[in-house]
A and B are shown apart, each in its own frame.
Chain A
Amino acid sequence: MSWVTQCAMITWMVLRTIPQRLGASLAAAVGVAGVVGVMVAVLSIAAGFRATLERTGSEDTALVLRSGSDNEMSSALSLDQARIIADAPGVRRGPDGPLTSAELYVIVDLPKRSTGTEANVPLRGVRPVTFALRDRVRIVSGRTFESGRNEILAGVGAAREFSLDLGQRLRWGENEWTVVGLFEAGGSLSESELWCDVNVLQPAYRRTMFQSVSVKLESPEAFDAFKDALTADPRLQVKVLREPDYYARQSDILNGIITGLGTLVAVLMGIGAVFGALNTMYSAVAARTREIATLRALGFGGGPTVVAVLVESLVLATGGGVIGGLVAYLAFNGYTASTINWASFSQVVFAFEVTPRLLATGLLVSLVMGLLGGLFPAIRAARVPVASALREL
């Protein structure tokens, strides 16, 4: 019999007898499923958060902030500066002039629907040109705000998470606002925001400055020339960023927290599960000592024995990994939540995303666990002393 045939035969025999050791095998598989499920579930939080922020930016849009500021909250730009920015080279022009939008970004307190506790919800003062800049924005119910009136257009994410309904009246300070419409923005960060007329928001918050200027460029390649022109201009002290870069950086803190904790939990749990798998596989080998010895006596080699035990361990582990990934996918994919984005000090509404990449990582982890859990028991199986093992009959 060739080596390969031997391997195939023993492996087939081992796999066929798994049902006889159902309890222990199941425990090992469930252990692995737990690790993979937990890891995928926790990391899907970070993946969803990052994806929401990444969808917000587009390559041909630049964001201008005051130099030194990492986010809109701490930035300030005057009307004059906004005009200089609009005249810079590389700015795309629409029928009504340059596609630049000087915006004001403040925070208002609104209760969360789920808990009733107050949350920092971003309120952005925008202008008609903003809708041309953010072309994914689509009004799904009601209408847009009328300029000059205290009206609010709410993102669907914000409306879902916070107490906001069409027609609702809200009072912040001395002003009363009415929610007149809801908008979608392709699952981006904008859906977490409330929008209103910037010319109404400025006096309501006694602000004379803007916080950022969004600029549609003629093309993504026009960015460098645009940036150089602004940074060289002595009238401005600004920072120019491509939108995707800006939003990717906004997710750093939460990403760091979730990934750090998620990895920690997965590693600890993985170690625990490997010990569980080792126990299972050692028991499986111990229970089959005589069987293995008989095979060895019949002329089967040590190599095929190792392969068979390893294959059993890998099958159990990958089975567990697939189940864990599936459960995580079913339970968490698309689960919506909101959390505070420390970078902008405001709430972000997002959905957990179990990405194919996460599932692949989970499967890889389960394979590694299967390998670790099976290797040493497999070696022990190969070293079974034939004569004494047979005598145990």
Chain B
Amino acid sequence: MNLAHLIGRNLLRRKARTLFTLLSVLVAFVLFAYLAAIRLAFTLGIDVAGKDRLIVIHKTSLIMPLPISHLTRIAQTEGVTAVTHATWFGGKYQDYPEGRFGIFPVDPAGWLAMYPEFVLPPEQMQAWLADRTGAVVGRKTAEDMGWKVGQRVPIQATIFHKADGSGTWEFTIDGIYSGRERGVDETQFLVHYDYFNEARSELARDLVGWFVLRIGDPEHAADVARRIDQTFANSFYETETTTEKAFVQGFANQIGNIGKILRAVMTAVFFTILLVAGNTMAQSVRERTSELAVMKTLGFTDGKILVVILAESLLLSGLGGGLGLLTGWLAVSTGDPTGGFLPVFFVPSRDWVIGAGFVVVLGLASGLLPALQAMRLRIVDGLRRV
């Protein structure tokens, strides 16, 4: 009788218990996958924010616009290698809530140069640059809305109505961009600022939402930011310059402790399930003390007993955890549980490694203690327990 056979028989001796333990471990790791995806969603993809990009907003609040004339002065600031701008358009498509996807009037060439992670086929880029009423949209939004290249999309104005009083902006989808890597926002809807600026009401003309700039050396971000803010100090349009990372972090902070509470709860749940499952696994070994004594009597070495027990627990946690992570991956790929409210929703590669680590730890922790006890067991004591 080889060891593998023995391990198999041990696992199958109480089929129901093995199955339920397996399923609890599986559920715990599905939860783990969701937890990782939710953590990423609530930090709004801080991990992927550009290190060499700074954001310039109005000092009082992001909702206050800045004059486009700031652009030249920012470009002249020492350390700045490129600058572009964007504006929050608002707007609604059909009956979707405002802000279902972000619409941004931008300078097309400048924007695509600033965000090389937005990958757009060259011919679509040419088409967009040449088409004033054209738009480029992220892959996710295009899929959600069922848009194709060449389609005309009417957007109902909310903040910015046209100067002629019309409340509808029509854009042609000239291209669909995709992210260069996972985590890139694939929901944006980008339109020509020039067209938007000329068509909107005169009151708001020549104002933009914020500037994005690239700096030569990320080490000097703080200096460049200070120089820019000093340039505009004591004017109505005072600025506040931060790194893109800090800017995104600022947004994530606004969500506040709600996100933290949710994550804390889920983490607690994950570990509780593991604890219960681990305990059940350890319990099933402890029940077999007398049997182990018999095995020792028959000549099994301590080492072999350790291997049998550890292999059993590692197999159980590996099977449950592996299936759990797989199920988690499949479940997370089907989309977020809130029906599209979270823009980025996937499990970062780092968390797969962490998850695999937990699988091993669970297997070791639940097997090692009873295995060590079994190793140290004196045959007489073990047999006496019958």
Query: Footprint of B on A, CB under 8 Å?
Result: 27, 31, 34, 38, 41-42, 45, 66-71, 73-76, 106-109, 112, 114-115, 117-120, 172-174, 205-206, 208, 237, 252-253, 256-265, 268-269, 271-272, 275-276, 278-279, 282-283, 337-340, 342-343, 345, 347
Contacts and interface: CB of A to CB of B under 8 A. Distances in A.
7 contacts: A73-B159, A256-B339, A260-B337, A272-B27, A272-B276, A276-B20, A279-B17
B167 A268 contact: no
Given A118-B253, A173-B236, A272 B273 contact: yes
B342 A257 contact: yes
Given A34-B269, A114-B257, A257 B341 contact: yes
A45 B97 contact: no
A68 B156 contact: yes
Nearest to A173: B60
Interface in B260-294: 261-262, 265-266, 268-269, 272-273, 276, 279-280
Given A71-B98, A119-B253, A120-B61, A271 B27 contact: yes
Contact of B338 (A71, A256, A340): A256
A265 B61 contact: no
Contact of A278 (B16, B34, B62): B16
Contacts of B254: 117, 119-120, 339-340, 347
B27 A41 contact: no
Interface string B147-184: 00000000011110000000100000000000000000
A285 to B, nearest CB: 10
B337 A117 contact: no
Interface in B119-134: none
B30 interface: yes
A339 B279 CA distance: 38
Contacts of A271: 23, 27
Nearest to A352: B261
Contact of B61 (A107, A278, A342): A107
A175 B65 CA distance: 17
Given A256-B341, A339-B256, A74 B159 contact: yes
A41 B31 CA distance: 17
Contact of A38 (B23, B34, B258, B265): B265
Given A265-B265, A269-B269, A282 B17 contact: yes
B80 interface: no
The 5 closest A-B pairs by CB, nearest first: A260-B338, A74-B158, A117-B253, A340-B254, A275-B20
Nearest to B23: A275
B97 A337 contact: no
B255 interface: yes
B4 interface: no
A106 B61 contact: yes
B63 interface: yes
B140 interface: no
Given A174-B236, A269-B269, A68 B158 contact: yes
B342 A45 contact: no
B258 A337 contact: yes
A108 B167 contact: no
Nearest to B167: A68
B238 interface: yes
A262 B98 CA distance: 24
B24 interface: yes
A342 B99 contact: yes
B256 A253 contact: no
A260 B98 contact: no
